[in-house]
Amino acid sequence: TRNSHYWVSNENRLELFEPHIRDRGGVLIGVGTDQNYLFAGWAKSDVLILMDFDQAISELHHVYGIFFADHATPAAFVEGWSDAHVAEVQAKIAAKFPEPGLQKRIQRAYKTARGTVFARLKKVQRHLKKLNVANFLENQDQYDHVRDLWAKRRVVALRGDLTANGTMLAIGK
């Protein structure tokens, strides 16, 4: 990863996808982080496979999973990424991932990405609100859908490389 992690999407016009994926259902295979949750809410995906060539991104998705489990509303989900909740989230990571190596990697991903994720979620929230585009950061039904995917264990986060030969075959199997 050339010592860089792409903790958030750099795409700023995600709303352009919404009319093309609305209510499609099915399996959503996505690369990266935050945009996949927007897409899953819009598409009403049945399964969400989150993949990235960077293992740290997969580990960050485990933190997203904690947030979806612990926060019943979009507002609480976004607020959970703020400075005020760092110690609480770190304790939840420690409890959910007791294996020391994995816990350390997930804690590092959270610590490094938290501020960037919080800023990104707020930016996307403001942008889509201005455009009047419903999304999981504002719309309770979409949020509940994405949250339910996590609760039903229908979200898989893994390391994968679309430029390699085996990733899509392995996902298919």
Distance of CA 96 to the CA centre of its chain: 17
pLDDT in tens, 132-171: 999 999 999 999 999 999 999 999 998 887 777 777 777 7
Q: 73 pLDDT band (50/70/90 cuts)?
A: very high
The answer to whether residues 14 and 121 touch, using CB atoms and an 8 Å cutoff, is no
Q: Which residues of 68-78 are buried (b: 16+ CB within 10 A; e: fewer)?
A: beebeebeebb
Q: Give the pLDDT score at 2.
A: 63
pLDDT in tens, 2-56: 667 889 999 999 999 999 999 999 999 999 999 999 999 999 999 999 988 899 9
